[in-house]
Amino acid sequence: MATASEILPLEGPPEVSPASQPPRVAASSNADETRNAWIGAQSLNLTRHAAALQPFKREEFGTGAEVPSEAHIQAVNSLITTLRRGLMQMSKRVSQATKAALAEPSTSRLQELMQRKSKAHHWVQGIERIWDFYLELFGQRQSKYANWLLSCDRIAMDCYQVAYMGLGKARSIPYPPPFSYMRTGFSPATFRRGIPMTRLGKQLNPFPLVQLPYHRLINPWTLGAVLHEVSHNLQSDLGLSRDVPKAIAMRLLKAGMSRRVAATWTRWNREMFADMSGLLLGGPQFVGSLMDVVGRAPETTVAFSPRGPHPTPYLRPHINFELLRRIGFSEEADHYRKVWTRTYPSAAEGDIPKEILDTFPEANKLAVDTVCFRPFPSLGNKSLAQVIRFERKEHQMIDEAARRLAAGIDPGIIPARFLIGATRVALDKRLARPGVIMRNFYQELTRR
């Protein structure tokens, strides 16, 4: 198999070898010279365009810990190199058509050249979109936001490590790890490993991407979003993408729920899992971060989407309150519930189906129990709450870290994922100014 360096030069400007250049044809007039020069340029332009899309090198993006890892660079280069093999074959066909058109510049041969050039350019542009996408992502690691993104990478890595260490049986280790990047907009997002991406021309995404809005990064106590988005990837990498929805549907139907109710909760499975896993990874403060997201205008909060993957915003925090109660944080659940129900005392003005509202208390308990407290074979016959444990002792670590972060003291050996909750505690208890909390949060994660 050809390597990237065998296909493209890795140093200096793209060059075209003499053998690949169109042959010289004696010109009988200035018009012939113009025609032949134009014909020859068609192949030359395409070859140089393709050659300019060189594989990335890690040192292009800096030398610190914040730069893309060698694994990320290799994964992207592998994707680009695979696509370029097809392009090289197209380039040869364009060169052949160029030679034929120079030898006999008839309309049919000129049009055949244009047809082959168009196909090759379409392919080049597809590769260019991929190259440009990752150039933008990797280039952010040279900006002043690089350490923020590195910090989110380390939180994501911590989430994966705790999940895989808690399994009841060994699983193959995912590779490469999640990669964070910044994008404007309201909501975070993720692109899972191995799924077709529109921005990549439907090519498969080689590693998890965590997209974070700028406003979340400057308010790290809202970065429960990282835990949520990473959990989407965990559901896939842990082999739970089919098991979880199937288990929810069977549990609710067995309990006598209607098909409509079971289908609704099953449709919500991925967002529910990401919330449940995020809470177990980050603790009670994750719920505050979630309420930041779903707390909007009342008419939006009680609006039901019959096809939406997210639980209705009015109901979504209540699902998390139930999990808080189940893992021993009833007092914290009650505090958050009082804030939420004071803000949104009733769903009566919305369009949530009566059947969904009437069955919600029972369905909620069953769904949370199914996702978090029932064993799954892919987890080594452990439950999610056993794989990712969060108890009072972990909560105590977060409280202690909050005071240290606020004071600018090393928070110690606390896991990276807990530092999100620590910033929330520091903010809620006004232990330091928001800017101080933010600075100390990123300094701590960057130095690790």
Please write the tens of the pLDDT for every residue from 407-448: 999 999 999 999 999 999 999 999 999 999 999 999 999 998
**What is the Cα–Cα distance from 235 to 232, expressed in whole angstroms?**
5
Kindly write down the DSSP assignment for every residue of 175-193, as one continuous string.
Answer: SSPPEEEE--SSS-EEE-T
Q: How far is CA 169 from CA 241, 376, 387, 391, in A?
A: 18, 11, 11, 22
Q: What are phi and psi of 255, to 5 degrees?
A: -80, 0
Mean pLDDT of the 327-345 span: 97
What is the pLDDT at residue 227?
98
DSSP 315: T
Contacts of 438 (CB under 8 A, 6+ apart): 218, 219, 220, 423
Percent of the chain with pLDDT over 90: 74
403 pLDDT tier (thresholds 50, 70, 90): very high
239 pLDDT tier (thresholds 50, 70, 90): very high
Task: Take residue 125 and report the two structure tokens written for it.
Answer: 């542009």
Domain regions of the chain by residue span? 4-142, 146-387
Strand partners, 197: 203
**Amino acid (1-letter code) at residue 286:** F
Mean pLDDT of the 171-188 span: 89
Strand partners, 180: 210
Planar angle of CA 391, 392, 397, nearest 5 degrees: 105
Q: What is the dihedral of CA 218, 224, 228, 234, to 10 degrees?
A: 100
Over 50: is that where the pLDDT of 244 sits?
yes
What is the pLDDT at residue 251?
98
pLDDT tens digits, 150-163: 999 999 999 999 99
Q: What is the pTM of this model?
A: 0.86
Rg (CA), the chain: 28
Q: What is the dihedral of CA 60, 75, 15, 129, to 10 degrees?
A: -90
- Average per-residue pLDDT for the chain: 91
Contacts of 84 (CB under 8 A, 6+ apart): 7, 8, 50, 53, 127
Evaluate whether 214 touches 152 at the Cβ level (below 8 Å).
Answer: no
**What is the Cα–Cα distance from 415 to 403, expressed in whole angstroms?**
16
pLDDT tens digits, 103-149: 999 999 999 999 998 888 888 888 888 899 999 999 999 999 999 99
**What is the Cα–Cα distance from 325 to 311, expressed in whole angstroms?**
19
**What is the Cα–Cα distance from 128 to 118, expressed in whole angstroms?**
15
pLDDT tens digits, 197-228: 888 888 889 999 999 999 999 999 999 999 99
**Residue whose token pair is 């890690």:** 58
Q: What is the dihedral of CA 298, 304, 307, 312, to 10 degrees?
A: 70
Long-range CB contact pairs, 409-416, < 8 A, 24+:
410/444, 411/444, 415/158, 415/162, 416/151, 416/154, 416/155, 416/157, 416/158, 416/445, 416/448
Q: Which of 190, 62, 188, 80 is nearest to 126 (CA)?
A: 80
Question: Strand 196-197 to strand 203-204: parallel, antiparallel, or no bridges (unpaired)?
Answer: antiparallel
**What is the Cα–Cα distance from 426 to 438, expressed in whole angstroms?**
10
Strand partners, 349: none
**What is the Cα–Cα distance from 105 to 107, expressed in whole angstroms?**
7
**What is the Cα–Cα distance from 342 to 206, expressed in whole angstroms?**
45
What is the pLDDT at residue 332?
97
Contacts of 173 (CB under 8 A, 6+ apart): 164
